[in-house]
Structure 1
């Protein structure tokens, strides 16, 4: 079994695997010694789950429940759980933190002062807590997914944002070089589950209040936090993408 990569060899792995297939990169991630899990929420992530299931090796999946997801997203999570007969480790925000935010600022404060505070409580803190138990995580990030923030993501990287003082967390992005068309060609070819919101014009799907369908020729991330500038469209889960 491959040992946990240290900071001095992560760049070498990123170079070695830069042009390899998503399945090869995923196999590398799942061979890492220690605890590694797939982060699951959308279309890209179910592609990774399908690929992992075809590798025939054990894998873990976790998902963040912010408490404000679309009904269709909850149905999607349950469909995937049953379809692959897997356990999805659901991560919830801290009740007291959510309660304090809502009591002090109401349910829609993000429209007035930005999404970072709400995302920090409902997404980033639960993710940080989960990643503290892992040695590596696998994401569905793609280079073409977000203008100005994801165009340079490598297929393997040291996650400086979530690593601890005594542990190096490794982040794997097997679909970094894929396009949206590649993802959907795979979904259609393999006939795997997807969120039914995609049939209503949604492309990038997050929490219900902060996600809307996009118009023809709009970039997929324009449906997320549409009241904010495009350069700021990261919730904090991948804060390392912001320069």
Structure 2
């Protein structure tokens, strides 16, 4: 798509802060950060609110998050004097999910797990993205084999809008240096061996030497380890 190529070319030598400032200025109320409240998204939240305190940052509450995730949500609201937007799954769909596969049916098959992700994450995300032209994510290419070929700016066919990945070329060290230097609130599970944090039943700490996303849906093979939020 021409606009995607043009944006990638225009911004290829820009700093991450410059990229954030460009998109917020150009798209104003038509842009938002979809935050998981993980380390990368906290870096972007800090950059965004330094640019514009009224910019949209939203998160998805699946109903199965760790207590530490709510703690960082609260700490973020307090630090920046904001209220992050929160989108929840539809009650009836969650009840139907429980009726058909129980509390932890997602462990039984990829199909079950993807249905749970769809109800708790994908459908709320679709509502959150309504009316937007651009969404910002904290994806990094080093996080997973499913993300190695992602670019700074992409066209998201699933949601029909521009997706911007300002940290796509950042290393994990760069993420943590920024957090420490700028005193950014972060999820304390990161200190307990959780580099990637999602729903509590689907996230565990990783062992030394394991891939940074090894703790997400650890019972599945690496090429399946996406919930559907970030399709190619």
Q: TM-score, normalised by structure 1?
A: 0.90
Higher helix proportion, which one?
Answer: 2
Give the structure 1 partner of residue 30 of structure 2.
Answer: 35
Offset from partner CA, 1:128-150 (integer Å, 9 cap, x none)? 11112312111100110112x11
Offset from partner CA, 1:58-78 (integer Å, 9 cap, x none)? 411100000000011011111
1:120 aligns with 2:114: no
Give the structure 2 partner of residue 83 of structure 1.
Answer: 79
Larger displacement relative to structure 2 (16-25 or 126-135): 16-25
1:105 aligns with 2:101: yes
1:158 aligns with 2:150: no
1:10 aligns with 2:4: yes
Task: Give me the whole-angstrom Cα distance separating, in 2, the residues matched to 1:64 and 1:50.
Answer: 18
Task: Give me the whole-angstrom Cα distance separating, in 1, the residues matched to 2:54 and 2:67.
Answer: 29
Give RMSD over aligned pairs.
Answer: 1.3
The count of aligned residue pairs is 228
Task: Give me the whole-angstrom Cα distance separating, in 2, the residues matched to 1:116 and 1:210.
Answer: 12
* 1:195 counterpart (174, 187, 192): 187
Are the equivalent residues in 2 in contact too, given 1:110–1:118 (CA < 8 A)? yes
Q: TM-score, normalised by structure 2?
A: 0.94
Structure 1 residues 106 and 57: CA distance shift in structure 2, 3 A: closer
Give the structure 1 partner of residue 164 of structure 2.
Answer: 172
Are the equivalent residues in 2 in contact too, given 1:124–1:236 (CA < 8 A)? yes
